[in-house]
Amino acid sequence: MAYFEMAKTVVKSLINGPSTIRYPAEPAKEYPISRGHVTIDPARCISCGMCMRKCPADAICVKRDEKLWEIDLFKCHVCNCCVEVCPVHCLEMDTDYRPAFSKHDGVKVVKITYVKPEKKKPAEDKSEK
């Protein structure tokens, strides 16, 4: 009976072709919800560190004093958690699968360029005049 089941699977696979693709020789299909890699808009990041605290893989490091945002691509398992918690929505999940990288370029460092807007001074008290 087991042989019959196996033969059925083999015949089905021969007719339908393989279910897998030869990635990266063949490009992977992308969907609007594909999780490729995390991207950041450094001009909007307020260095709050929420993404770092919530990342279950400990893949993000925010160095507030140095204004650096780092992601370890070897640790990130594209769970989307950081994207969901970022209060200013400066993180996005790009649908492009990231290209291959070596251990030398596995950590991506981004310089945070956000500048906090200056607080407006309270209007001068005209009643003193």
Task: List residues binding ligand SF4 (CB under 6 A).
Answer: 38, 40, 45-51, 55, 57, 59-60, 62, 71, 76-82, 86, 88, 90-91
The minimum distance between CB 32 and ligand SF4, in angstroms, equals: 17
Question: By C-beta, is 27 or 52 nearer to ligand SF4?
Answer: 52
The minimum distance between CB 97 and ligand SF4, in angstroms, equals: 14
Residue with tokens 């400990």: 58
**What is the spatial distance between Cα 84 and Cα 86, in angstroms, rounded to a whole number?**
6
Question: By C-beta, is 26 or 65 nearer to ligand SF4?
Answer: 65
**What is the spatial distance between Cα 120 and Cα 17, in angstroms, rounded to a whole number?**
66
Question: By C-beta, is 13 or 113 nearer to ligand SF4?
Answer: 113
* Residue 40: both structure tokens together: 């950041």
Question: By C-beta, is 13 or 56 nearer to ligand SF4?
Answer: 56
The minimum distance between CB 87 and ligand SF4, in angstroms, equals: 6
User: Residues with Cβ < 8 Å from 62, sequence gap 6 or more?
Assistant: 47, 48, 49, 51, 52, 68, 69, 70
The minimum distance between CB 108 and ligand SF4, in angstroms, equals: 10
Give rounded-to-5 percent helix, strand, coil for the chain: 20, 15, 60
